[in-house]
A and B are shown apart, each in its own frame.
Chain A
Amino acid sequence: MIVLRALLSHWVQRPVQLASLLLGLALATALFTGVQAINAEARTSYARAAAMLGQDQLSRIEAEDGQLFDQASFVKLRRAGWKVSPVVEGELRVAGSTARLMGVEPVSAPASAAPAPLAETNELLRFLQGNVGFAAPATAANWSSIDPLPELRPLEGLIEGVVLLDIGQAQRLLGMEGQISHLVLADGGEGASALPQGLVIRPPGGAGDVARLTDSFHLNLTAFGLLSFVVGLFIVHGAVGLAFEQRRAMFRTLRALGVPLNGLMASLLTELLVLAFLAGVVGVALGYLVASLLLPDVSATLRGLYGASVASSLSLQPSWWLGGLAVSLIGALIAAGQSLWRLASMPLLAPAQPRAWMRASERGMRMQLGAGIALLGISGLLIWQAQGLVTGFAALGTLLLGAALCLPVLLGWVLQRLTAAARGVGREWFWADTGQQLPGVSLALMALLLALSANIGVGTMVSSFRMTFVEWLDQRLSSELYATARDQAEGEALRAWLADQDVDVLPIWNVKVELFNAPAELFGVTDHPTYRQNWRLLQALEAPWDKLAAGDHVMINEQLARREGLWPGDALTLPNGRAMTVAGVYGDYGNPLAQLHVTTDLLVQLYPDVPRLRHAVRVAPDQAEALRQALITDFGLPASQMIDQASIKQASLNVFERTFTVTAALNVLTMAVAGFALLTSLLTLSGMRLPQLAPVWAMGWTRRRLAGAELLRAILLAGFVMVCAVPLGLALSWILLNVVNVAAFGWQLPMFLFPGQWATLGLLALVVAGLAALWPAWRLSKLPPAELLKVFANER
Chain B
Amino acid sequence: MVLVADDIWKSFSSGTGRSEVLRGVSLSVAAGESVALTGESGSGKSTLLHLCAGLDVPDAGEVRVGGQALAALSDAARAKVRRDQIGLVFQQFNLIPSLTVGRNLSFQARLSGREGGLRIEALAERLGLENLLERYPEELSGGQQQRVAIGRALAAGPPLILADEPTGSLDEATGDKVMDLLLELVRESGAALLMVTHSERLAARLSRRVHLRAGQLE
Interface residues, chain A, with chain B CB atoms under 8 Å away: 2-3, 6, 9-10, 12-13, 249-250, 252-263, 348-349, 796
* Cα of A259 to Cα of B92 in the assembled complex, Å: 19
* Residue in B50, B111, B169 whose beta carbon sits within 8 Å of that of A257 in the complex: B111
Tell me if B112 and A258 are in contact (CB < 8 A): yes
CB distance from A448 to the nearest CB of B (A): 31
Tell me if B97 and A348 are in contact (CB < 8 A): no
Whether a CB of chain A sits under 8 angstroms from the CB of B173 is no
Whether a CB of chain A sits under 8 angstroms from the CB of B129 is no
* Cα of A262 to Cα of B77 in the assembled complex, Å: 11
* Residue in B50, B79, B94, B99 whose beta carbon sits within 8 Å of that of A6 in the complex: B99
Tell me if B111 and A2 are in contact (CB < 8 A): yes
30 CB contacts below 8 A, A to B, read A2-B107, A2-B111, A3-B111, A6-B98, A6-B103, A6-B107, A9-B103, A12-B98, A13-B97, A250-B98, A252-B94, A253-B94, A253-B95, A253-B96, A256-B94, A257-B88, A257-B108, A258-B80, A258-B82, A258-B112, A259-B83, A260-B75, A260-B76, A260-B79, A261-B75, A261-B79, A262-B75, A349-B55, A796-B92, A796-B169
Tell me if B111 and A348 are in contact (CB < 8 A): no
* Cα of A260 to Cα of B79 in the assembled complex, Å: 5
CB within 8 Å for A258 and B55 given contacts A9-B96, A12-B98, A252-B94? no
Tell me if B80 and A6 are in contact (CB < 8 A): no
Whether a CB of chain A sits under 8 angstroms from the CB of B56 is yes
Tell me if A10 and B98 are in contact (CB < 8 A): yes
Whether a CB of chain A sits under 8 angstroms from the CB of B84 is yes
Whether a CB of chain A sits under 8 angstroms from the CB of B110 is yes
Residue numbers in B under 8 Å from A252 (CB-CB)? 94
* Cα of A259 to Cα of B84 in the assembled complex, Å: 11
* Cα of A257 to Cα of B112 in the assembled complex, Å: 9
CB within 8 Å for A9 and B99 given contacts A2-B107, A258-B112? yes
Chain B interfacial residues counted at CB < 8 A: 31
A-B pairs with beta carbons under 8 A, tally:
73
Tell me if B98 and A257 are in contact (CB < 8 A): no
* Cα of A3 to Cα of B94 in the assembled complex, Å: 15
Whether a CB of chain A sits under 8 angstroms from the CB of B3 is no
Whether a CB of chain A sits under 8 angstroms from the CB of B53 is yes
Q: Which of B79, B99, B111, B136 has the most CB of A within 10 A?
A: B79
| Cβ < 8 Å to A, chain B residues 38-60 | 50, 53, 55-56
CB within 8 Å for A258 and B169 given contacts A9-B98, A253-B96, A349-B55? no
Residue numbers in A under 8 Å from B92 (CB-CB)? 796
Tell me if A257 and B99 are in contact (CB < 8 A): no
Residue numbers in B under 8 Å from A3 (CB-CB)? 111
* Cα of A260 to Cα of B82 in the assembled complex, Å: 10
CB within 8 Å for A348 and B55 given contacts A6-B96, A258-B83? yes
* Cα of A3 to Cα of B88 in the assembled complex, Å: 18
* Cα of A259 to Cα of B50 in the assembled complex, Å: 16
CB distance from B134 to the nearest CB of A (A): 13
Residue numbers in A under 8 Å from B79 (CB-CB)? 255, 258-261, 263
Residue numbers in A under 8 Å from B96 (CB-CB)? 6, 9, 250, 253-254
Residue numbers in A under 8 Å from B75 (CB-CB)? 260-262
Tell me if B110 and A2 are in contact (CB < 8 A): yes
* Cα of A258 to Cα of B94 in the assembled complex, Å: 14
Tell me if A257 and B55 are in contact (CB < 8 A): no
Tell me if A256 and B107 are in contact (CB < 8 A): no
* Cα of A271 to Cα of B217 in the assembled complex, Å: 46
Tell me if A256 and B98 are in contact (CB < 8 A): no
Closest B residue by C-beta to A261: B75
Tell me if A256 and B53 are in contact (CB < 8 A): yes
Tell me if B82 and A256 are in contact (CB < 8 A): yes
* Cα of A262 to Cα of B76 in the assembled complex, Å: 8
Residue numbers in A under 8 Å from B84 (CB-CB)? 258
Tell me if A249 and B169 are in contact (CB < 8 A): no
Residue numbers in B under 8 Å from A250 (CB-CB)? 96-98
* Residue in A12, A249, A256, A796 whose beta carbon sits within 8 Å of that of B55 in the complex: A256
Contact with A along B135-147 (1 / 0, CB 8 A): 0100000000000
